[in-house]
Copies of this chain bind each other. A is one copy, B any other.
Amino acid sequence: MDKRERIIKAAIEVFRKQGIEKTKISDIVKAAGIAQGTFYLYFPSKLSLMPAIAEVMVAKTLEIVKDRVSDDAPFPLRMEQLVDAIFEVNEEYHEIQALIYSGLASTEHLKNWETVYAPFYKWVSDGLQQAIDEGVIRNSVNPDRTARLVIGLVESAAEQIYLYDTDKEDEAVIQKNEVKNFLKNALAID
């Protein structure tokens, strides 16, 4: 398999288990089954992995979202499915979300944020545009901006729940409902 990909996969696994700070390059290469020096052929440092990891995670998120949201369902249902999907990803990968955030936050890689999230934003934006065209949400909504708001809202809501490892299914259900109502009203036709 492609070495670069193996490094990214291994890094995600190791970061999840022990966090970024405590992870040594040697842990990553061990997990990837490659030599120490090989790492540096693909990445100049541990933090420079973050954009690549973020990309993978966003791709994975988008994949799950696309799978969970039915193309032909009515908009309100699709929105609920979107919320569920984001919560689902966040439950599975909450440590990664946090580390992507903190990893990208490290100044130099910040600039990649937009690029990395772009496909996800685009997908939600398209959905909103379609809903506007169908007249099922208020047409004062700017699809691009609102896509960002929706994703930001739902991810932050999910993070607040899954920040702590403790598995809180009940909590999650309540929070999801609150978000769904919040969203439904936010977009609703007045």
- Chain A contact surface mostly: helix
A163 to chain B, nearest CB (A): 6
Within 8 A of B (CB), among A102-148: 102-103, 105-107, 110-111, 113, 138, 140, 142, 145-146, 148
A105-B102, A186-B183 known; A157+B148 contact, CB < 8 A: yes
Determine whether A160 belongs to the interface, using a CB cutoff of 8 Å to chain B: yes
* Distance between A165 CB and nearest chain B CB, rounded to angstroms: 9
Supposing A21-B106, A152-B157, A153-B156 touch, asked if A182 and B178 sit within 8 A by C-beta, the answer is: no
Chain B residues within 8 Å of A160, by CB = 148, 152
Contact with B along A144-178 (1 / 0, CB 8 A): 01101100110111011001100000000011001
A-B CB proximity, top 9 nearest: A102-B102, A152-B156, A186-B186, A98-B105, A153-B153, A145-B178, A185-B186, A182-B186, A102-B105
Could you pull out 9 A-B pairs where Cβ atoms are within 8 angstroms? A20-B102, A145-B178, A146-B178, A146-B182, A149-B156, A152-B159, A155-B156, A185-B187, A188-B190
